[in-house]
Amino acid sequence: MSERSELAQAFLGQILEPSDAGYNAARKVHNGLIDKRPAVIARCRGLADITDAVRYAQAHKLEISVKGGGHNVGGRAVSDNGLMIDLSLMKGIHINAQYKIAVVEGGALWKEFNREAQLHGLAVTGGVVGTTGVGGLTLGGGLGWLMPKYGMALDNLIAVNLVLADGSVVRASDTEHPDLFWAVRGGGGNFGVAGSFEFKLHPVGPMVMGGLMAFPQSEARQVLRAWRDMAATASDELMLVAGLLSAPDGSGNKIAVVAACHCGGVKEGEAAIAQIATFGTIVMNAMGPIPYSALNGMLDAGYPAGAFNYWKSGFIPTLSDAAIDTQIEWHERCPVPSSAILLEHFHGAATRVPVEATSFALREPGFNTLVLGQWMDAAMGGATIEWARNCFGALQPYFGKRRYANYLGPDDPADAAALAAYGANLPRLRRVKKQYDPQNVFHLNVNVLPG
């Protein structure tokens, strides 16, 4: 009996096997470097479909992967010869504007969520690339333009509806399975398949102040130092990102970029933009009033689906002049124009949540640093990966102990990655894992071993 005929008896979604039309498109994830072929893809329509898929995989000893937006750079959404639970058909988004609550299904993307919420002038922290999945980003942390004001995406969760390893369905919240709710807020997909999420929303937009401003590479040192100094006194309304990349005009010219979002008063936002304009010689200025939804899609073109990606990341608590110099030195050695080094500043509400309040442990002020190896020509893979690894190695003296789980790649040692992501919360996470997934069925993640 084929996978389709056995699983399809009550299944409302779509079941794909390798010989089916649509299989190759469904198995692909955002990172073109990932090329895996599951035995069966279960494209679910709801929690009942997820339950059937989990039980089928368990009965047939198939490794389970879960695809929401498919953006995880490690390609954890797909495995060879396993069963992929594909949530991309589950895109329901329901906004209760009166109570400022959103219910979002596990296959929704941030650009879809933002579009619906912004109809009511509401938003929640979520992503800097609009094609990222809501579920994966949130469960692993959820940084974004609003995190200084409203915390990480996971800090705004009210509840998560999960299908557990035995196929049962539970709602995790502060009052229902509170230990599980604590764990999924940062623990990723370790505990089950998240079919839907409930978020509290906040008044944002529809217009904010922000965008991009670029400066020549020759001034990168002064720009990054000025950006660092501005970040030290930034208000909760201001999110700051900086990057070393190549100009988007195809010239290959290297540039230093500052990106920002100010979600507060217009005058304060204008003042922040005016301060950024003093950092150096402006070669591109795309800062000013901008719809919040547009700001969240501003970087999408720079991260095309199917591009080859290899990332290394760490967290720099104190951005010294030496750390800046090291980044500039290594960016100048970058072999392809589509690669970059990015800095995301952590401050404000996201850093005021006690470490023990959720399993997400990255709560200190500082600079999340991403060495983003991205290339379009397969022949450049070796050189780009070598550059990313060497750049990451050169930055090691400046990194702290914590790392952002969503940026960890498949070649980060499992035990070290878990400790870096969860820190002192790891022992409690292991106890929750033992209770809800003692056989470690859900292990294609920054894995927490049952303890």
Fold for the domain defined by 208-407: Vanillyl-alcohol Oxidase; Chain A, domain 3 (3.40.462)
For residue 1, pLDDT over 50 is answered with: no
Question: Looking at residues 78-93, what average pLDDT do you find?
Answer: 97
pLDDT value for 291: 96
> Which amino acid, one-letter code, is at 229?
D
Q: Would strands 83-86 and 64-67 be described as parallel, antiparallel, or unpaired? A: parallel
User: So what's the pLDDT on residue 7?
Assistant: 86
User: What pLDDT does 416 receive?
Assistant: 87
Instruction: Give tens-digit pLDDT for 233-274.
Output: 999 999 999 999 999 888 889 999 999 999 999 999 999 999
Contact 267, 214 (CB under 8 A): no
Helices 178-187, 426-436: inter-axial angle, 10-degree rounding: 120
Q: Can you tell me whether residue 158 is helix, strand or coil?
A: strand
Q: Are 324 and 225 in contact (CB under 8 A)?
A: yes
Measured distance CA(48)–CA(41) in Å, rounded: 16
Tokens standing for residue 115: 């579009």
* Stretch (H or E) spanning 259: strand 254-262
The third-level CATH classification (topology) of the domain covering 3-86 is 3.30.43
Instruction: Provide mean pLDDT across the span 329-351.
Output: 97
The model's pLDDT over 190-205, given as tens digits with 9 standing for 90+, comes to 999 999 999 999 999 8
Which residue's structure tokens are 């502060």? 174
- The answer to whether 183 touches 421, Cβ cutoff 8 Å, is no
The pLDDT value given to residue 3: 56
Indicate if the pLDDT at residue 5 is higher than 90.
no
Q: What is the pLDDT of residue 2?
A: 57
Span 52-75, average pLDDT: 95
pLDDT at residue 4 above 80? Answer: no
Question: Does the pLDDT at position 163 exceed 70?
Answer: yes
Residue 245: φ, ψ to 5°: -150, -170
Q: What pLDDT score was predicted for residue 127?
A: 79
CA 240 to chain centroid: 17
The tens digit of pLDDT for each residue in 346-405 reads 999 999 999 999 999 999 999 999 999 999 999 999 999 999 999 999 999 999 999 999
Alpha-carbon distances of 377 from 337, 387, 439, rounded to whole Å: 11, 15, 41
C-alpha pair distances (Å), 302 with each of 12, 125, 189, 247: 36, 21, 27, 11
What pLDDT does residue 409 have? 85
CATH class of 93-204+426-436: alpha beta
What's the average model confidence in pLDDT over 109-128? 95
Query: What's the CA gap between 97 and 326, in Å, rounded?
Result: 47
- Provide the residue ranges of all domains of the chain, joining segments of one domain with +: 3-86, 93-204+426-436, 208-407
